Amino acid sequence: MTRRTLSMAMICALLAGAAMAQTGKRQPSPQREPADPLLEAMLAEMARARRLQMPALEAPYYIEYAVEDTDSFSAQASLGGLLSARPTRTRYPRIQVRVGTYDLDNTNFILSDYFTGSGAGLMPTDNGMRPLREYFWLATDSAYKAAFESFSRKRAALANFLTPDRLDDFSKATAVQKLLPVAHKPVDTSMWTARLRSLSAMFASYPRILSSNVAMEIGQSTSYLVTSEGTVARVPDNLAYITVRATTQADDGSMMNDAALVQTLEADQMPPEAELRKAVVLLAENLTRLSQAPAGENYVGPVLFEGQASAQLFAQLLGRNLALPRKPVPLPGRPVPVLESELEGRMGSRILPEWMEVVDDPTQTEWRGRPLLGHYDIDLEGVVPAPVKVIDMGSLTNCLLTRQPVRGFSASNGRARLLGSFGAKTAAISNLFVRASTTVPTADMKKKLIEMVQKRNKPYGLLIRKLDFPSAASVDELRRMSATMAQSGSFRAVSSPVLVYRVYPDGREELVRGLRFRGVNVRSLRDIVAASEESYLFDFINNTAPFALIGGSNFVAASAVVAPAVLFDELELERPQEDKPTPALVPPPPLLAGR
């Protein structure tokens, strides 16, 4: 998608408008863009906040106003009945004040998110200049009080530690001015609710499906960012998606979930209804077959990831680990548990075979005629991103970086895409391209799997076509999985496979259920022995929840992975030993399609 940047004259016009709101006098400008009261209020209050003096107190060195201004429509249906349908108008503000210096400030401290001040209440959704400016004034005051309190506590905590190699808390960045045109399209709510009813009613023809749900959201959002460093940004951030989820249960009580996800930047880019119906049928038929499939057995041997499953695997093993978290300053005697990246300290080490490379490229807008969801113009910290080669000839050469310095890196490369903890942002992938210079014809990948199985005298190999990522699991199921993983010593696990097939030496495939990965981590990528000629696109809505749990976070970042099918020399899968829920004693009511 190509987006046109407004001229500097238009930016000056908006700045002039803010000055007029501040002084009451119109400033001359060569051209004036249609009024944007929200941006003008942000600029006016930022100009006033930068001039504020704090007698006997430490003045802020950095102030950030960010707002997600969103019009959305969401609806969900089940078995032909509409569960909800509502338009929503929201403004989600993020006001940050940093006290101290770039070297040492109030962030990256265990209590950085604890002190919140008195707050400013809900942000106005209309465009009155007075309520908007008053909101930013009160929010700035609240954030400053919280920052000052946190900074005082942090300095007291640091007095108890000797940290000669302590990193800076914030890196400097060049100010950016990027105002892109935004426009909201009308949404045909009647058409979409009718379509959801129709799609959800299809599950009535599948009696082994215990529960099902079809949900959608059309979000038309504008992201605003104004900082005391001089950054002024306004960019469109639209996203539309349909989520089809269903659950089934095997005769032994095992529960199985699956989901079909369709995401586009604009609602009018959604596939036609016929294609959506095919996705529902495929989901329902897969779950029906899974409910009757034999349970898998513990397995160690070669594994082939085809199509979507391969991209899902790279999204987890690389997408999550390429962001390097930083441990916050703790209180004395109270260490902070932080889930570290498996790539920490491995710069220059071999991660993949020497004939593979990985590039994260947010500047690409499409791939083979298909829009790429991971494209964006500016990150949450006001940094314009560029392509970054993170793995070259199999070796780790770079990571995804924000303005919070981490060991070995002092500056951002524009990957702050998610909200984080302790006053920081979290890095996330954009469009991740996994490429292989040595490939195998796609049709021969299964043949290579069978050859490895025969060479090792195994009864079968495993072929995986889909993982549960983003996860459709329930919160209770995630808790059980987390407990099982903790017992096995794994804390950054890969989501469970959904479609797993035994591949016998004669080429026959048999669907099995109930397997999970054991000990699969980023080091496993070195055991890739083959990659296909053909690559596959998998786009998804990323968040900070475990396994990118569907609906697990209010703040998301659209991402995409393009990767070939890959064959592993050896992976381990197991059948977990867990208590299973008892199947329903009372049979379900009869379901007739369309009723």
Residues 229 and 317 in one domain: no
Give the pLDDT band of residue 483 (cuts 50, 70, 90). Answer: low
155 in the same domain as 25:
yes
Does residue 3 contact residue 371 with C-beta atoms inside 8 Å? no
Asked whether the predicted pLDDT for residue 180 surpasses 70, the reply is: yes
How much is the pLDDT for 56? 62
Within this chain, do residues 305 and 437 fall inside the same structural domain, yes or no?
A: yes
448, 369 contact by CB (below 8 A): no
pLDDT computed for residue 33 by the predictor: 56
Q: What percent of the chain has pLDDT over 70?
A: 89
Q: Are 354 and 394 in contact (CB under 8 A)?
A: yes
Which residues contact residue 91 at a Cβ distance below 8 angstroms, ignoring those fewer than 6 apart?
A: 38, 67, 68, 69, 70, 123, 124, 125
Q: Domain for residue 439, yes or no?
A: yes
* Same domain? 222 vs 149: yes
Whether pLDDT at 492 is above 70? no
- The Cα 199–Cα 245 span in angstroms is 11
Residue 592 has pLDDT above 80, yes or no: no
- Average pLDDT for 492-498: 88
Dmax over CA atoms of the chain, in Å, equals 85
Residue 452, SS3 per DSSP: helix
Same-domain check for residues 223 and 304: no
Asked whether the predicted pLDDT for residue 151 surpasses 90, the reply is yes
Place of tokens 């093993």: 317
The pLDDT value recorded for residue 477 is 75
Residue 209 has a pLDDT of 95
Domain boundary among 199, 217, 240: 240
- Model confidence over 540-570: pLDDT tens digits? 999 999 899 998 888 999 999 999 999 999 9
Whether 58 has a pLDDT exceeding 70, the answer reads: yes
Span 451-465, mean pLDDT? Answer: 97
152 vs 113, residue with greater confidence: 152
* 223 & 309 share domain: no
Taking the CA of residue 94 as centre, how many other CA atoms within 13 Å lie in the half-sphere pointing to its CB? 20
**Helix, strand or coil for residue 315?**
helix
Taking the C-alpha atoms of residue 55 and residue 371, their distance in angstroms, rounded to an integer, is: 53
Evaluate if residue 459 carries a pLDDT over 50.
yes
Instruction: Encode pLDDT of 254-292 as tens digits.
Output: 999 999 999 999 999 999 999 999 999 999 999 999 999
Q: Is pLDDT at 228 greater than 80 in this prediction?
A: yes
Cα-Cα end-to-end distance for the chain: 41
311 vs 286: CA distance, rounded Å: 20
The overall average pLDDT reported for the chain is 89
Neighbours of 53 (CB within 10 A): 6
The better pLDDT of the pair 249, 59 is held by 249
Split into its structural domains, the chain has a count of 2
CB-based contact 400:388 (threshold 8 Å): yes
List the CATH number of the domain containing 212.
3.30.2290
Q: Is 375 in the same domain as 515?
A: yes
Q: Distance between CA atoms of 471 and 259, rounded to whole angstroms?
A: 8
The residue ranking higher by pLDDT, 311 or 25, is: 311
> If you average pLDDT over residues 338-352, what whole number do you get?
93
Q: In this structure, are 97 and 212 located in the same domain?
A: yes
- 135 within domain boundaries: yes
The runs of H, that is alpha helices, within 54-171 are 129-158
Indicate whether 29 pLDDT > 90.
Answer: no
Helix 37-51 and helix 129-158: axis angle, to 10°? 40
Q: How confident is the model at residue 487 (pLDDT cuts 50, 70, 90)?
A: low
- Give the pLDDT confidence score for residue 1 in this predicted structure: 37
Six-digit token string for 366: 């499409």
Number of neighbouring beta carbons within 10 Å of residue 85:
16
Q: How many CA atoms lie within 13 A of 269 on its CB side?
A: 16
Q: Is residue 170 part of a domain?
A: yes
Is residue 27 situated within a structural domain? yes
State residue 30's pLDDT score. 42
pLDDT digits (tens, 9 = 90+) for 91-146: 999 999 999 999 999 999 998 887 665 566 789 999 999 999 999 999 999 999 99
Last residue of a domain, one of 240, 274, 290: 240
- pLDDT given for residue 223 in this prediction: 97
Name which of 415, 459, 429, 247 is nearest 321 in CA terms.
429
| Domain assignment of residue 161, yes or no | yes
- pLDDT(373) > 60: yes
Question: Looking at residue 116, what is its pLDDT?
Answer: 62
The number of helix segments (H) and strand segments (E) in the chain equals: 8, 22
SS3 544: coil
DSSP 8-state assignment for residue 432: E
Q: Considering 240, 264, 285, which residue would you say is the last residue of a domain?
A: 240
153: phi then psi, degrees, rounded to nearest 5: -65, -35
Which tokens go with 531? 């990659």
**Is the model's pLDDT at 4 over the cut of 60?**
no
Q: In a 10 Å sphere around its CB, with 0-12 CB exposed, 13-18 middle and 19+ buried, how is residue 507 labelled?
A: exposed
Q: Distance of CA 159 to CAs 68, 104, 168, Å?
A: 38, 13, 16
Q: Whole-angstrom Cα distance, residue 151 to residue 455? A: 63
255, 249 in Cβ contact below 8 A? yes
* Domain contains 584: no
Mean pLDDT of 382-396: 98
Q: How far apart are CA 339 and CA 320, in angstroms?
A: 11
Let me know if residue 112 belongs to a domain.
yes
Whether residue 15 is contained in a domain is answered as: yes
Q: How many angstroms separate the Cα of 56 from the Cα of each of 63, 149, 428?
A: 19, 14, 40
Asked if 320 and 232 sit in the same domain, the reply is no
pLDDT at 14 exceeding the cut of 80? no
Question: What pLDDT is attached to residue 86?
Answer: 96
Asked whether the predicted pLDDT for residue 489 surpasses 80, the reply is no
Residues 45 and 118 both lie in one domain: yes
Higher pLDDT, 490 or 472: 472
What residues make up the domain containing 500?
A: 299-324+344-573
